[in-house]
Amino acid sequence: MLILECPCCGVRAEESELAPGGEAHLKRFGAGASDEDFEAYMFARKNPKGVHFERWRHAHGCGKWFLAARDTATLEVFGTYPAQTKAPPAELIAAIKAKRPHWEGYE
């Protein structure tokens, strides 16, 4: 079972307590954006087989959103961090790089 530590309340929450929210750090496009940008924002997803940054909500806990880095091929969790960040923290990137030397990196 997937266990993520909620950075808001510090609880190590198991999967049934959490609600997944899809890919994190999407760049938003709204009115005035080109059709290509809007389509990509709405539908195109990285969907990597490997390191993935994603949104979660501690639905049956504190109710807050947070972000997590996880390997979709092994279910290994690299870490969680607050939702109020525009990009993954540098130390988390370094930790993932140490574990996954062939990982191409974020973006």
Partner 1 sequence: MKRYSVFALAREAMRHHMGWERAWASPEPKAHYDVVIVGAGGHGLATAYYLGKNFGITNVAVIEKGWLGGGNTGRNTTIIRSNYLQDPSAAIYDKALKLYENLSQDLNYNVMFSPRGLLMLAQTHHEVRGYLRTVQANALQGVATEWIEPAKVKEIVPIINIDGPRYPVLGALYQRRGGTARHDAVAWGYARACSAMGMHILQKTEVTGVRTEAGKVAGVETSRGYIGCGKLAMIVAGHSGQLAEMAGFRLPIEAVALQALVSEPVKPCMDVVVMANTVHGYMSQSDKGEMVIGGGTDGFNNFTQRGSFHHVEETLRALVETFPMISRLKMLRQWGGIVDMTGDRSPILSKTPVENVFINCGWGTGGFKAIPGSGWAMAELMAKGHSPLAAEFGLNRFREGRFIDESVAAGVAH
Residue 47 or 84 with smaller CB distance to partner 1: 47
Q: What Å distances lie between residue 105 and 11, 14, 18, 62, CA to CA?
A: 28, 27, 26, 31
Binding of residue 74 to partner 1 (CB under 8 A): yes
Residue 80 or 91 with smaller CB distance to partner 1: 80
Binding of residue 105 to partner 1 (CB under 8 A): no
Q: Which residues are within 8 A (CB) of 61 and not within 5 positions of it... i.e. 6 or more apart? A: 6, 9, 11, 13, 17, 18
Assign 16 to helix, strand or coil.
helix
Binding of residue 85 to partner 1 (CB under 8 A): no
User: Which residues in the 23-52 window bind partner 1 by CB under 8 A?
Assistant: 23, 35-36, 39-40, 42-49, 52
